[in-house]
Structure 1
Amino acid sequence: MRAVVFSRYGDESVLELTERPSPTPTDGEILVEVMAAGVNPVDWKHREGAVQSDRPFPLGMGWDVAGVVRATVPGGPAVGEAVYGMLPLPYGGAYQELTVLPVSAVAPKPARLSFAESAAVPLAALTAWQAMEAAGVKAGTRVLVHAGAGGVGHFAVQFARHLGAHVTATASARNLDFLHRLGVDEPADRATADLAASGPFDMVLDTVGGPVQHQSWHLLRPGGTLITLPEPVDEIHRLPGITAHRIIVAPDGEALRRIGTLIDSGAVHVEVQSVLPLEKAAEAHRVSAEGRVRGKLVLSL
């Protein structure tokens, strides 16, 4: 089968499109023919060595999959069924023609989405979903999402609105109208907005890290919750009375089933900036690392 792998950590030039043996599912796993693979920042961080595994080189790439079941388990999806799901971290294997996933990690592909659109969902949407759950977001919660037009961000603002929260989200000026269309109550230009004037917030979702995390502590009310994604909580900046968690996403087929229902009802929009062929994986990594992607990038197989 065709697969994108890498045999040493480095920039996008280490990616190789090669032929690899097809994987064989073990207990509790299904075999999926991959029609499309989502691209996430964790992909190129893995390639650079920031996210490492204990498996020997060459290593596979990617965690988001949409495709067709080719081998299954009792009680699992039928052979020929269209599914989407997320491979467990830290072992990649989405950028290839066949992959294996735990049956518990997949759900039926949303009917209204193409395979490419479906592949944009799992990792980012599950991250946003698990962040909302960790913070206990509900009707009336005041939520701030940093980088609300990005992969995780555009799902987070929609899930928060679905739960009845009042949502403020930051983005570049060119994406403020996009945030409006997603239902954000207060789109904020990340370069000029006075976020303190929109707060205090009950929950802040930091998808950026660094100074953004440091500033976010001061935007929360006493008893509020800071959820950070790209890096651990910086204890030097911790403020009393604020709860802080780092979310590391986990596969969850049941949550994907519920997310798929929201998508098929029209309550959640999936934004795909572009779809590239598998052989342009290096280009997709370059674009992703520039940090200006609206929604998601996808590789088509």
Structure 2
Amino acid sequence: MRRDDFYTTGAASMRAVVFSRYGDESVLELTEGPEPTPADGEILVEVKAAGVNPVDWKHREGAVRSDRPFPLGMGWDVAGVVRGTVPGGPEVGEAVYGMLPLPYGGAYQDLCVLPASAVAPKPARLSYPEAAAVPLAALTAWQALEAAGATAGQRVLVHAGAGGVGHFAVQFARHLETHVTATASARNLEFLRGLGVHEPSDRATADLAAAEPFDIVLDTVGGPVQHASWRLLRPGGTLITLPEPVDDAHRLPHITARRVIVTPDGEALRRIGALIDSGAVHVEVQSVLPLRMAAEAHRMSKEGGVRGKLVLGL
């Protein structure tokens, strides 16, 4: 994308949520700006819905930074209709979903550009808001399990299994025929059972250290959760951490540990979409808010406790 700043060339205008300084949700502005211009290999998508992820407000606060000048766009998850394409890309008018490459946001707006290779056909059984809830979270879970080498028969623990990444991770792990344990608040334990989790565990009361050791732990939380996870693994087990780097101060020599940072992958989204359309994977959307309520969506996301995903409808 040509992103020298948000206000690039273009005659027509569109709505966009941007921010001009790092800070709390009050720095978000709903503005009018020029339509984006695709670069080589990019397509233009009319955004019907944009997913909200924790990385969004971390970007707004400055924990995740780009090297572009303000004002900056927001968001990475999109579902919409192709309005401009490239040779070999999706057809104009096709319904697609995908993820913009980190760290440059630009999903909270009427039109966005992203690599043709980053999108896939929208799953037929999903609405646009449901489809927008999928890409970043589902790809994170998919790539985390790939990195861990998850295979049938292994014992897998997913922390925060009812969250955006977590609720996809437990379903993908079940699809791989692993034995799945997942933590959640007490109110979400039945939800986890409905997703096929073998052992839903109350994060406030469960004694995971007393359980049989795990082959793989997916840490979607960080901090003390990562620190405690090392000793939940068998010798030779694998810890995948998502929100922050591996803490070497807690490293154990017999555990493989790595951080996974999600990358766009249209082909993986095709495979995920097939699982969704087959009914094997459920997409949970807690709330769909209008674009003008992006700040409220950020506040809700940061407070935590969201089941599945929050989405902005355009």
Counterpart-to-counterpart distance in 1, 2:253 and 2:40? 46
Instruction: Report Cα offsets for 1:31-50 as digits up to 9, x if no partner.
Output: 00000000000000000000
* 1:1-301 paired onto structure 2 within 5 Å: 1-301=14-314
- Tell me the number of residue pairs that the alignment of Structure 1 and Structure 2 aligns: 301
Counterpart-to-counterpart distance in 2, 1:231 and 1:279? 30
Q: How much does 1:199 deviate?
A: 2.6
Q: Give RMSD over aligned pairs.
A: 0.4
1:254 is paired with a residue of what secondary structure?
A: helix
2:120 is paired with a residue of what secondary structure?
A: strand
| 2:182 partner letter | A
Instruction: Report Cα offsets for 1:238-297 as digits up to 9, x if no partner.
Output: 001100010100000000000000000000000000000000000000000001100000
2:34 is paired with a residue of what secondary structure?
A: coil
Instruction: Tell me whether 191-200 or 10-19 shows the greater mean CA deviation.
Output: 191-200
2:43 is paired with a residue of what secondary structure?
A: strand
Counterpart-to-counterpart distance in 2, 1:75 and 1:149? 37
Counterpart-to-counterpart distance in 2, 1:116 and 1:290? 21
Counterpart-to-counterpart distance in 1, 2:305 and 2:229? 21
2:129 is paired with a residue of what secondary structure?
A: helix
User: When the two structures are superposed, what TM-score results if normalisation uses the length of structure 2?
Assistant: 0.95
Counterpart-to-counterpart distance in 1, 2:22 and 2:287? 26
Instruction: Report Cα offsets for 1:121-146 as digits up to 9, x if no partner.
Output: 00000000000000011100100000
1:20 is paired with a residue of what secondary structure?
A: strand
Q: How much does 1:198 deviate?
A: 2.4
Q: How much does 1:197 deviate?
A: 2.5
Counterpart-to-counterpart distance in 2, 1:2 and 1:172? 37
Counterpart-to-counterpart distance in 1, 2:297 and 2:235? 41
Unpaired runs of at least 5, structure 2: 1-13
Counterpart-to-counterpart distance in 2, 1:243 and 1:257? 30
Instruction: Report Cα offsets for 1:109-162 as digits up to 9, x if no partner.
Output: 000000000000000000000000000111001000000000000000000000
Counterpart-to-counterpart distance in 2, 1:138 and 1:161? 10
Instruction: Report Cα offsets for 1:176-228 as digits up to 9, x if no partner.
Output: 00000000000000000011222300000000000100000000000000000
| 1:28 partner letter | G
Aligned-residue sequence identity (percent) comes to 86
| 1:9 partner letter | Y
User: When the two structures are superposed, what TM-score results if normalisation uses the length of structure 1?
Assistant: 1.00
Counterpart-to-counterpart distance in 2, 1:75 and 1:183? 38
Counterpart-to-counterpart distance in 1, 2:248 and 2:35? 45
